[in-house]
Amino acid sequence: MVRAQPVPAHVAVIMDGNGRWATGKGLPRVAGHREGVKAARAMVRAADAIGLRFLTLYAFSTENWNRPEDEVTTLMRLLEESIYRELPELMSRNVRLRVIGRPTGVPLPVRRGIDHVVHETRANTGLTLLMAFNYGGRDELLDAFRALARRVRAGDLEPEQISEAHVGGALYTDGIPDPDLLIRTSGEMRISNFLLWQIAYTELWMTTTLWPDFGPSDLYRAIADFQRRTRRFGGV
Ligand code: IPE
Ligand code: IPE
Ligand code: MG
């Protein structure tokens, strides 16, 4: 018997294809990033409208620093602008912002903006928006292993006692359930260093649609597909 799944609690999105969207229209790549911000805003509204508990958006990876300097600078400036601009709407929608990623290396004005919005929205009880920014899955695991190693060295934990809960609790996503559904746009069939530990049993949904063209109806289609799937978690 096929049992319908409920609406997923946590959807994570690899927002990919901004550059190709722009190039395909004869525009500079940064024009694609501007459109990408609009698509991200629409996604937050849609996630809120259908009652998702957690939405994680992959905005900038640790590898994205390898891009040309002017693209990185523009991305940082875009983020700084948008974060302040979105605050009133996040407040009115009761959305809480959390950031996952390493704070080090992020330009100070961007960090200040992020910290401000995280602080202002901290008591909101609706959708939790997790922004993966300067995020790398392997860095996250390294940070967790180092934290656990320090606890072992301090005599607070025995190596044999280390459980999945200890590792999960040492990740940036401490306290947040693993994603039920991972969406990737732009046709790439890879994970690109995203949430490596957390996606062990996440359902994957890939589309060739480029991120700036991805709208609420695409999210609803992904969720409807998810609801028709049978999750077995290794069982029968
Ligand atoms: C995703 O779009 C946005 C970021 C990684 C910041 P891309 O910029 O990767 O677009 P493509 O993949 O080059 O088309
Ligand atoms: C993944 O996209 C990172 C984000 C969406 C922020 P990339 O465009 O960086 O991934 P690759 O390089 O195609 O794997
Ligand atoms: Mg890309």
pLDDT band, very low/low/confident/very high, at 2 (cuts 50, 70, 90): low
Pocket of ligand 1 (CB under 6 A): 15-20, 36, 60, 64, 75, 186, 211
Burial class (CB in 10 A: 0-12, 13-18, 19+), 192: middle
pLDDT digits (tens, 9 = 90+) for 9-44: 999 999 999 999 999 999 999 999 999 999 999 999
Contact call for residues 44 and 88 (beta carbons, < 8 A):
no
Q: How far apart are CA 60 and CA 70, in angstroms?
A: 15
90-133: per-residue pLDDT in tens? 999 999 999 999 999 999 999 999 999 999 999 999 999 999 99
CA angle 225, 135, 190 (to 5 degrees): 45
What's the sign of the alpha-carbon dihedral 125, 128, 134, 140? Answer: positive
Q: How far is the CA of 12 from the centre of ligand 2 (A)?
A: 14
**Residue whose CA is closest, atom 10 of ligand 2?**
192
Classify the phi-psi angles of 185: left when phi > 0, otherwise alpha if psi is within -120 to 50, otherwise beta. Answer: beta
Q: What percent of the chain has pLDDT above 90? A: 97
| CATH number corresponding to 10-136+177-227 | 3.40.1180.10
16 noted as active-site residue = yes
18, 64, 70, 156: the catalytic one is 64
- Condensed to tens digits (0 to 9), the pLDDT of residues 178-207 reads 999 999 999 999 999 999 999 999 999 999
Q: Which of 186, 188, 208, 214 to mutate to test the pocket of ligand 1 (most atoms within 8 A of CB)?
A: 186
Say if CB 19 and CB 32 are below 8 A apart.
yes
Q: Where are the domains of the chain?
A: 10-136+177-227
**CA angle in degrees (0–180, nearest 5) for 10-51-185:** 50
Does 64 participate in catalysis according to the annotation?
yes
Pocket test for ligand 2, best of 23, 29, 64 (most atoms within 8 A of CB): 64
Q: Is the minimum distance from the CB of 209 to ligand 2 under 6 angstroms?
A: no
Per-residue pLDDT tens over the stretch 201-224: 999 999 999 999 999 999 999 999
Task: Compute the distance between CA of residue 236 and CA of residue 227 in angstroms, rounded to an integer.
Answer: 18
Closest CA to 13 of 184, 145, 215, 189: 184
Give Cα separations from 58 to 2, 62, 103, 235 (angstroms): 32, 11, 15, 30
Residue 188 near ligand 2, beta carbon < 6 Å: yes
